[in-house]
Chain A
Amino acid sequence: MSVSVSPTDAVAIAIMGSGGAGAITAGGLLLEAAGRAGWHGLMTRSVGPQIRGGEALAMVRLATAPVGGHGDRFDILLALDWHNADRFVDETPLDAGSLIVADAEAGEPPAAILASGARWVTLPLEQLAKQVPAGRANIVALGVLARLLALPLEPLVTAGRTLASKGLDAAHLRQALAAGHDAAASRDLPVRPLPAAVAGAATRWLLTGNEAAALGALRGGVRFVAVYPITPATDLSEWLAPPLQRLGGHLIQAEDEIAALNMVLGASYGGVPALTATSGPGLALMTETLGLAVAAEIPAVVVNVMRGGPSTGIPTKSEQSDLNIALYGLHGDAPHLVLAPNSVGDCLFATQWAVRLSEALQCPAIVLSDQFLGQSQAVCDRPPANGMEAASRAVAMPGPGRYDRYALTADGVSPMARPGTPGGQHTADGLEHNAHGTPSSRAVDHQAQLDKRRDKLLCHDYGPAWAEVEGDGELAVLTWGSATGPVLEAAARARAQGLAVRVVALRLLSPPLPARLAALLEGARRVLVVEQSHSRQFYGYLRAHYALPGEVRVLNQPGPLPIRPAAVFAQLMQWR
């Protein structure tokens, strides 16, 4: 978290086209090529609800430092066509310094886009593509971008090797790229060269947050996954299916989300670390079963990739509005774990940690990712292979005498007997029970087991990973999840203006750790809370569980538009 993108260093490119025009493909190739050439970067897809067709927008941001989010504006908008481009006006802010490159056959840009004052030029992308066997306008467009960004063509050729399966071999790929490059060079277009690349591409990865979370699950030891399809979590599960086969695990498509989580609990009761992935509506269906996992003390991980809500909401776009249901959606007094990654790459760490905590504490863990983190692809430093071992749970080896599954222990964690172990027979139960596991409605048993389930979470030492902290100063910004990227960028800008800002991004949201946050906020006199929810869910959570020093302000907005660094920066500077 120590490196932040500066706006002078980063270049932002939007590629737009109707579905099938290849805008997303072009964005992905651009990001991969830039990554291979030594840049960091991030690509976010924005698509409409159509299964095929519709419109697509690839937002790519390249820089010499890890990119945690999008900036305030785009330097280049490349339009393969203008069909339905109106829908993307809000997502691609342009200004007089921006350049719009459009296909010559596409016609005039929509008025809303021209209103930005950006310079508009056309190039014969489609026509040039027709001159190359299997050539496509999106590849010619990539050649144009290579020229404008001073990006060498070779990494693009390497990135585009997968296009051979679509009939575009390396020679023709190079030809199509060169056609675009030369067409751009023949015009007097403002180049926006990327700054010098940073060596070290060989140790970097390119992956989405959903892939990172899936990998974190595997690293944590998850070998059983049960899921029901839901946008935007399905690609996480789809990625997991082949690796689980190769690792001798299981992925099962359940009949609904309720079944998915119950299958997870069954497998986990059997001793196999297990996980499900879902989004808001699915999480809502799972809440009763999460309560069972709390009461019966069964480890289980739910990766919830948040989308706009409530109800069906905006399935393809991001929002941080499932915080309340993740924290408070369970009936009864049901302490459990809630974690949140703060970047695409952090989805790996946060999920692996969730598996570890869940297994160690015999408690369900919800990982609150979101559509932005999950479906954005980013260049990340390769996470250390030995950073955290696979999870382990306390396993009972019952001897002579009675085995008490829910024995009251010093740390609240009672060793779990694995089915098949002689002498460890017990009934895991959602009914309140005594230490032995026998159902009980007695007050003394209820009190003891409630205390146990609370205390095992509070006794645990979560270490420094529970929150990320950057900087120091009397002005503190409290944030979480995908809002962290723009906050860090804004804080870096403010520091460049001489304003000391400290940023605290919580990775562990439940259980709340008031003493630890108080320590992190020591000396702070003003607190800015930043979140992407309409009803200020994070602010409400902070006010419920923590003492916030001095004056508190909130910067919140719902999805689907991301929080822009400029908005946070403006708020910080007003307060200097």
Chain B
Amino acid sequence: MGKPQPIPTGHAAKDYKSEVKPIWCPGCGHFGVQAALFRALAQLDLPPEQVAVVSGIGCSSRLPAYTECYGFHGIHGRALPLATGLKLARPELTVIVASGDGDAFSIGGNHFLHACRRNVDLTCIVMDNEVYGMTKGQPSPTSPPDWDSKLAPGGARVSPLRPLAVALAAGAGFIARGFSGDPNGIAHLLVEAIRHPGFALVQVLSPCVTYRPEEKCWKQQVHAAGIEPTHDLAEAARRLFADDGLTTGIFYQAAPPPYPGAVTNAGGDLTAIEAQFAL
């Protein structure tokens, strides 16, 4: 943080990395997401000070401090409204949201729905490991119903959420999934997501090696969609409901109406506004 001089044009991925050492476990999928984000920002040649990474609470949400960008590490579940306020106030900034499956889909579920439909120009990365890692292993909204844990012996017995289908129904205009073991693939998705002029969701399957070691086998299970993104809602819905949850790629990209920005050069005058109160 706090580099002495603005970095000249032509950024390398390492320019976005701060000196703060991540708290993540060795082998955590989030390292791959971090690397992918830096590659995407470098590819877009965005000056670090023009990027803000906003997060809530959880392992994933520690990301802002590990970047050389501006960051806001807020409270659990509320990264999306925090980012919304920042982006509306400062539309010239690139605003990235770093979240996890508990943060985005459970405590922040309501904000997730409304961020999708509001369509403010944000890129929301949800590092989905199907578990609450920071609190040491409780089921999340994407956990399998029979996943055994201390808090839910024998499993939570609740159907997992389909976040991408929910996002589609809620009105998101860019819906993609990546895998943390493929940083170049995620970087590609993030470049497209950041370029997308509206709310963009990138779910990243990011194994929790400590509480969900079985997720290590995702590496063998994930598979690329291998088809072009559709802008057809019905086709996207068909793909998402037919999907096994391990398909990577951009599922849907369309252009719902953007959230209106501030009126520029509105030319309003406070004295004129106050005149309405005169007797």
Contact = CB atoms under 8 A, between A and B. Distances in A.
B69 interface: yes
Interface in A225-266: 226, 243, 245-250, 252, 254-256, 258-260, 262-266
A7 interface: no
A531 interface: no
A423 B74 contact: no
A36 B269 CA distance: 25
Given A215-B274, A245-B263, A438-B20, A420 B81 contact: no
B48 interface: yes
B234 to A, nearest CB: 27
B74 A270 contact: no
Interface stretch (A46-54, A396-404, A471-479, A561-569): A396-404
A419 B5 contact: no
A258 B81 contact: yes
B14 to A, nearest CB: 15
Contact of A262 (B20, B48, B74, B270): B74
A417 to B, nearest CB: 8
Contact of A401 (B2, B69, B84, B264): B2
A491 interface: no
Interface in B62-84: 64-65, 68-75, 78, 80-84
B17 to A, nearest CB: 12
Contacts of A249: 262
Given A423-B49, A430-B75, A266 B54 contact: yes
Contact of B1 (A32, A291, A296, A402): A402
A464 interface: no
Contacts of B12: none
A205, A247, A271, A419 — most chain B CB neighbours (10 Å): A419
Contacts of A430: 73-75
Interface stretch (B89-97, B150-158, B203-211): B89-97
Contact of B114 (A245, A255, A398, A427): A255
A382 B279 CA distance: 10
Contacts of B49: 419-425
A265 B74 contact: yes
Given A249-B262, A423-B5, A266 B86 contact: yes
A357 to B, nearest CB: 20
A274 B50 CA distance: 21
A201 B277 CA distance: 12
B279 A32 contact: yes
Interface of B, secondary structure class, is mixed
Contacts of B64: 427
Given A243-B273, A425-B2, A427-B72, A266 B278 contact: no
B97 to A, nearest CB: 11
A392 B71 CA distance: 22
Nearest to A421: B49
A429 interface: yes
Contacts of B69: 425
A419 B90 CA distance: 9
Interface in B222-279: 262-271, 273-274, 277-279
Nearest to A200: B279
A425 B16 CA distance: 11
Interface string B16-54: 000010000000000000000000000000011110101
B78 A289 contact: yes
A199 B47 CA distance: 61
A266 B85 contact: yes
A205, A266, A424 — most chain B CB neighbours (10 Å): A266
B88 interface: yes
Given A255-B111, A256-B110, A269-B72, A400 B78 contact: no
Contacts, number: 214
Given A270-B85, A420-B93, A429 B2 contact: no
Contacts of B65: 427, 429, 437-439
B82 A262 contact: yes
Nearest to A272: B89
B114 A292 contact: no
Contacts of B271: 385
A518 to B, nearest CB: 38
A325 interface: no
A288 interface: yes
Given A262-B81, A423-B49, A431-B73, A401 B273 contact: no
B78 A258 contact: yes
Contacts of B2: 398, 401-404, 423-426, 436
B213 interface: no
A24 interface: no
A219 interface: yes
Interface in A34-90: 35-36
A282 to B, nearest CB: 14
A143 B20 CA distance: 75
A244 to B, nearest CB: 8
A422 B5 contact: yes
A220 to B, nearest CB: 11
Contact of A379 (B4, B83, B262, B279): B279
A538 interface: no
Contacts of A224: 85, 88-89
A270 B279 contact: no
Interface of B: 1-7, 20, 47-50, 52, 54, 64-65, 68-75, 78, 80-90, 92-93, 110-111, 113-114, 262-271, 273-274, 277-279
27 contacts: A201-B279, A215-B273, A224-B89, A226-B81, A243-B273, A245-B268, A248-B266, A252-B85, A252-B88, A254-B81, A254-B114, A259-B78, A263-B82, A264-B85, A266-B88, A269-B72, A269-B82, A292-B74, A403-B2, A422-B5, A424-B70, A425-B49, A426-B2, A427-B71, A427-B73, A430-B75, A438-B20
Given A252-B85, A266-B81, 20 more contacts: A215-B273, A215-B277, A254-B81, A255-B114, A266-B84, A266-B88, A267-B86, A269-B72, A271-B90, A272-B89, A292-B75, A399-B4, A419-B70, A419-B90, A420-B92, A423-B6, A426-B71, A427-B64, A427-B71, A439-B65
Q: Which 5 A-B pairs have the closest CB atoms?
A: A266-B85, A246-B268, A427-B71, A263-B85, A422-B6
